[in-house]
Amino acid sequence: MPAPTWTTPAQFDLLSTHMPEYIVRQAQKKVHKFWPIVWEAFFRDYPVDGMLGIDKATATPAEWQTLQTAILAKKEASLDSWTRMETNALFNGRATRRRAHCATEIFQKRNHDLVMQESAKRGHDELNKEHMAVDGEELDAQEQRTKEARVERMRMRNVVVKELFAQAPQWERAEIEDAVRAEKESLSQVTEQLPAGLSFQGRQVYQSGLATDESSDVMETVLKTVGEKTGWFSFAIWGGPNPRHDGELSLKCAVYGNTPAGNNFIAQHANYDEGILLPFQQFLHRCFLNGAVHPPVQPPADVTALDGLITMAAGAEAPSPAEKPAAKAVKKTSKQANRKAPPKRMRKPKAAEPYRHRPLLL
């Protein structure tokens, strides 16, 4: 049974906004690039502080630094566990093998108090009692006794569960058998979703397609949750190469909140296609050059100006070429003027791809 969440409502809202990106990173097998972004966003609003009651004035700088490092590592591990637990129901991009619970495991979960009471009668709690060690030799002996007691407790509990399950009424055993059968059918359906015979790259593309298909539902859930908790209205737009359409650029949008007349942001905007979609399409074209799956590492040559984008301001227009300041002329010397330019290398033109870069609005 998972532990209760440790996040506050504000922390939950902050971490929930990063769930779609986590799902995509899981599908791409690049989760290591996701955690630094979450850590920076989370610790910026909720910085690391001393929670163990140690006075900073009495501690040495080395001790205080060690304490802060340990607290930071603990919180990072907590964020890791929280994200995996919260997104496991949406997209299982990590675990590749799962099994159905057996009948005794389900019986133990349904009758936890009964199992613990019967185990206590047989001396289960007596195995937990252990005095504190005072020296090294006794510490080693205590560690060995702890391991043996843990094994004995597990063996005793398994025996108790099997005996109680054998004594359970027929109707309860029938319900448990139905639960086991339903869980096996559910796991078989999950396994059948992934086509057989795919290579590693094929599985990666297929899982990325699943994440792309589910991103709309995830984003709508996030916007709805944020809107219900804060009362704010939201609009989100995202896009990139779609593995479902052979890498074509695709767009998706989600909106939450309506006007008193019942119109959302898309219906209310007078020039939505040219004012919102077109600038973002042009932005994606510059990010994914030549059909690349990921944005380039080095900035493109035209990163200094976005002249082709349509601005959001009312009545604002892009400056015409005549209004742009002319480049300052540079006077050349006679030696530079007589120098011949090197011959240009001719590159072989690429085959035309008329449909690869056409954005597809899903």
pLDDT tens by residue, 12-30: 888 888 877 877 777 777 7
Global pTM reads 0.33
> Between helices 136-167 and 112-121, what is the axis angle to 10°?
120
Which among 2, 147, 135 is positioned nearest to 81, based on CA atoms? Answer: 2
User: What is the pLDDT confidence band of residue 4, given thresholds at 50, 70 and 90?
Assistant: low
198-213 residue pLDDT tens: 665 666 677 777 777 7
Is 111 a residue whose pLDDT tops 50? yes
Q: To which H or E segment does residue 129 belong?
A: none
Position 35, amino acid: W
pLDDT of 261 reads 82
Listed in sequence order, the residues at least 6 apart from 274 whose beta carbon sits closer than 8 Å to its beta carbon are 310
Average pLDDT over residues 262-279: 83
17-75 residue pLDDT tens: 887 787 777 777 777 778 888 877 887 787 765 455 566 677 778 877 777 777 777 77
How far, CA to CA in Å, does 128 sit from each of 119, 147, 303? 12, 11, 66
Cα gap 309→315, rounded to integer Å: 14
